[in-house]
Amino acid sequence: MRLVLFDCDGTLVDSVGLIHEVMARTFVDFGHARPDVTETKAIIGLTLDIAIARMQGKPHVDDEALAMTAHYKAIYGGVRAEAGFQEPLFPGIADLMARLERDENLILGAVTGKSRRGLDLIRASHGFEKTFVVSRTADDCPSKPHPGMVTECCSEAGIDAAQTIVVGDAIYDMQMAKAAGAKAVGVAWGYASVPELVEAGADHILRTPADLLDWLEISDA
């Protein structure tokens, strides 16, 4: 039995448009310059308060970062409801997840910097309500790359970290996996570059979602 843990933003769903717009509006509402999308991409995966502080060049989360975090959460739902700011699955993800769910030797889970509410929205939007047997979010554990999300999922699932695979698009995902003693699998379609993922410790790089089936040696049966 193996445990496969998926990051969400940049791995399962293409959410940078939504995240960046909410982040940009938050910065402007607090009197700061509108950030560039490259700045937003660089922090996706981190817990929100740490992400905002890092975008401002602050070494620690301060009162303003906490206030901006609360504001981001308050306006998120409204922006998400606007046309053009949904979070579509990357091509091939729906088929991949359906195939993995049919494998009795796998347990699937999610490890994400989103809030629990954010993950629940993704699950409801894409029919993943029963897909993830275990999950940890920014509401449950310290921010990536701390290994807590992985180790807690392993404990709940009863699977050793050595039999666990973390699939993600961010350097924080790779670092988290290695810190937990799990395999780190990077995806080439997300927000970090392949060289960045390799440097962060990726054991393998997926060029397409279907490549995971081959790497796990899952057949059509």
Cα four-point dihedral sign 112, 92, 160, 163:
negative
Cis peptide before 195 (omega within 30 of 0): no
Q: Is 178 helix (H, G, I), strand (E, B) or coil?
A: helix
Q: pLDDT per residue over 6-34, tens digit each?
A: 999 999 999 999 999 999 999 999 999 99
* 149 shares a domain with 60: no
* 70 shares a domain with 46: yes
CB 111 within 8 A of CB 46: no
Q: pLDDT per residue over 180-204, tens digit each?
A: 999 999 999 999 999 999 999 999 9
* 105 shares a domain with 72: no
Is 87 a residue whose pLDDT tops 60? Answer: yes
Q: pLDDT per residue over 128-175, tens digit each?
A: 999 999 999 999 999 999 999 999 999 999 999 999 999 999 999 999
CATH assignment at residue 124? 3.40.50.1000
Domain that holds residue 200: 2-14+87-216
- For residue 163, the surrounding DSSP H or E stretch is none
Q: How many domains does the chain have?
A: 2
- Say if pTM beats, i.e. exceeds, 0.85: yes
Tokens of 16: 């940078």
Q: What is the pLDDT of residue 83?
A: 87
* Residue at 221 is within a domain: no
